[in-house]
Amino acid sequence: MPEVYHNYIRGRWVPARSGAVFESINPATGEVLGICARSGPEDVAEAVAAAKEAFPKWRKVPAPRRAEILYRAAELLVRRKEHYARLMTMEMGKILLESRGDVQEAIDMTYFLAGEGRRLHGYTTPSEMPNKAAYCVRQPVGVVGVITPWNFPFAIPSWKIIPALVCGNTVVYKPAPEVPILGVEFVRLLEEAGLPPGVLNLVLGGDDAGAALVAHPDVRLISFTGSTEVGLQVAERCARMGKRVSLEMGGKNAAIVMEDADLDLVADALTWSAFGTTGQRCTACSRIVVHPKVHGDVADVLVDRARRLRLGNGLDPETEVGPLVSAAQLEKVERYVRIGQEERAVVLVGGERATEGALARGFFFRPTVFDRVHPRMRIAQEEIFGPVVDLIRAETLEEAIQIVNDVPYGLSASIFTRDIYKAMRAIEDLDTGIVYVNHGTIGAEVHLPFGGTKFTGNGHREGGLQVLDVFTEWKSVYIDYSGRLQRAQIDLEPVTFKLEGSA
Ligand code: NAD
């Protein structure tokens, strides 16, 4: 019998009130991995009540002490990295190498942000009045609702939950329904590290549980990562309720390959960016904008690489590309390949499900390269989120930049060139939150801000110290020790004084 996974509310593991459940499925084999609580609004309400009760206590715990718990969590992550990685490969499908990277990102983020427990800097500044002190400090926001997608089951929750906690907020976490067991494991880890009850609560379930969390009046901030379609609905609801909301949404990332690029590097980097994680990274490269002089070479090498990639169960060390996460995702990718063909783009390789042998049991799709793609085709404009990449020609750097920018999204872009002038021009003019030079579109590090422009985000950044602005409110403090009323902007005495012996 598969294990049963519960919600975590008020420091206790409890089933959904209704008793409803759903299955977690291994996308490589179809095996049922666990039976999970399907939460409704009543479970969300209990979790929010617990977080609300814990907030006044947690915010008073000195930040360095809060951070000690997070350091312990980081140490547990290090110790159990292999265990979590294997589980991730089983539940989400990405290959073991990448699952280890996902856990490593959570380790990096947890150490990095636990360090903020001894910083969380505000600043002091002179007042415009004499005998008056002025400074500002960060304050926690309150109960935070964290809603995450399935593609980075440890990294993404760590980007949100760890900064939320170090800043003194309490959290209700709703992971994606594709990866509930990893959600449970992440919370167990923090429980074991010593988080007091109510500080972090978990509600497993689907979209309705997410919607209930967004709609709950006691949740002060929603931190959401997922599709643009859902993110905008979340933002609309939050706006009406006067809530803070931080959104990380879809992408349509692109790499520019100029005529002077190192083509061996391009082959390695773009095979990885387009087909790594089966194209299911928010920063995956889905468009290659290429100079006509090297177009043929780039197409040949990518087709060759795509054809040779070994598909299979990610637990097998030989596997290079795992399955898509779900039947729905597989159908979406298939649909987009059909759309591309109807738009008269040409499939150079792939373009179909992979069903030979054991692959028939999972959600496998062959790495696919489209050629003759016009930048305004739907396959060049809309997020596919699978192992599909478009080749688009551009005669000049200006045209290439214009094509990269001409999509609704703006997460990540890259340029391959040996010419410093072209690289600098691209860095300046690409309208994305992340730019790489001579590197694919993936590979962010935790201590730099992460996020995108246009419909990829709403102006916030995760990662870096910038994430602290999501999870704190600023409080400005004035201490007047003059002993009299001093009115700012009004009681401004002229700056005059005399020295002994002066006129
Ligand atoms: P999704 O939008 O379908 O779901 C994301 C989360 O929102 C899930 O937990 C889901 O249950 C929940 N949800 C769905 N409807 C909701 C509603 N009405 N109210 C509240 N919550 C709701 O996305 P997904 O399929 O899980 O993930 C893939 C998407 O995530 C892609 O578009 C990808 O680009 C994006 N993504 C973006 C980033 C980034 O940093 N920009 C990172 C990873 C993934």
Reported as a single tens digit per residue, the pLDDT across 211-259 is 999 999 999 999 999 999 999 999 999 999 999 999 999 999 999 999 9
What average pLDDT does the structure give for the chain?
98
Q: Name the residue at shortest CA distance from atom 4 of ligand 1.
A: 226
At residue 374, the pLDDT reads: 98
At residue 307, the pLDDT reads: 98
The answer, yes or no, to whether any atom of ligand 1 lies below 6 A from the CB of 410, is no
Instruction: Indicate the burial class of 171 (C-beta count within 10 angstroms; 0-12, 13-18, 19 or more).
Output: buried
How far is the CA of 30 from the CAs of 25, 209, 217, 321, in angstroms?
Answer: 6, 25, 39, 17
Q: Side-chain half-sphere of 78: how many Cα atoms within 13 Å?
A: 10
Instruction: Show the beta-strand stretches assigned E in 198-317.
Output: 200-202, 221-225, 244-248, 253-257, 285-290
What is the rounded (10 degree) CA torsion for 146, 152, 155, 159? -30
pLDDT tens digits, 270-286? 999 999 999 999 999 99
Q: Name the residue at shortest CA distance from atom 38 of ligand 1.
A: 282
At residue 459, the pLDDT reads: 97
460-464: average pLDDT = 97
User: Given a cut of 80, is residue 29 above it in pLDDT?
Assistant: yes
Pocket test for ligand 1, best of 44, 91, 202, 207 (most atoms within 8 A of CB): 207
Q: At 101, list the tokens.
A: 């990277």
- Provide Rg for the chain, Cα atoms: 25
* pTM beyond 0.95: yes
**Whether residue 248 lies in the annotated active site:** yes
The answer, yes or no, to whether any atom of ligand 1 lies below 6 A from the CB of 207, is yes
At residue 493, the pLDDT reads: 87
pLDDT tens digits, 119-165? 999 999 999 999 999 999 999 999 999 999 999 999 999 999 999 99
User: Measured between alpha carbons, how far is 160 from 463 in angstroms, rounded to an integer?
Assistant: 9
At residue 269, the pLDDT reads: 98
Residue linked to tokens 């509310």: 9
Q: Name the residue at shortest CA distance from atom 11 of ligand 1.
A: 207
pLDDT tens digits, 376-412? 999 999 999 999 999 999 999 999 999 999 999 999 9
Instruction: Classify residue 409 by its DSSP letter.
Output: E
Pocket test for ligand 1, best of 178, 227, 245 (most atoms within 8 A of CB): 227
Any bridge partners for residue 409, and if so which? 454
357-364: average pLDDT = 97
Instruction: Classify residue 368 by its DSSP letter.
Output: E
At residue 162, the pLDDT reads: 98
Phi/psi at 466 (5° precision): -60, -30
At residue 503, the pLDDT reads: 74
At residue 407, the pLDDT reads: 98
307-320: average pLDDT = 98
Residue linked to tokens 């904008």: 289
Catalytic residue among 36, 167, 238, 282: 282
**pLDDT-above-70 percentage for the chain:** 100
CA-CA-CA-CA torsion sign (61, 67, 70, 71): negative
Instruction: Show the beta-strand stretches assigned E in 317-411.
Output: 346-349, 368-371, 388-393, 409-410
User: Given a cut of 90, is residue 1 above it in pLDDT?
Assistant: no
What is the rounded (10 degree) CA torsion for 267, 271, 273, 276? -150
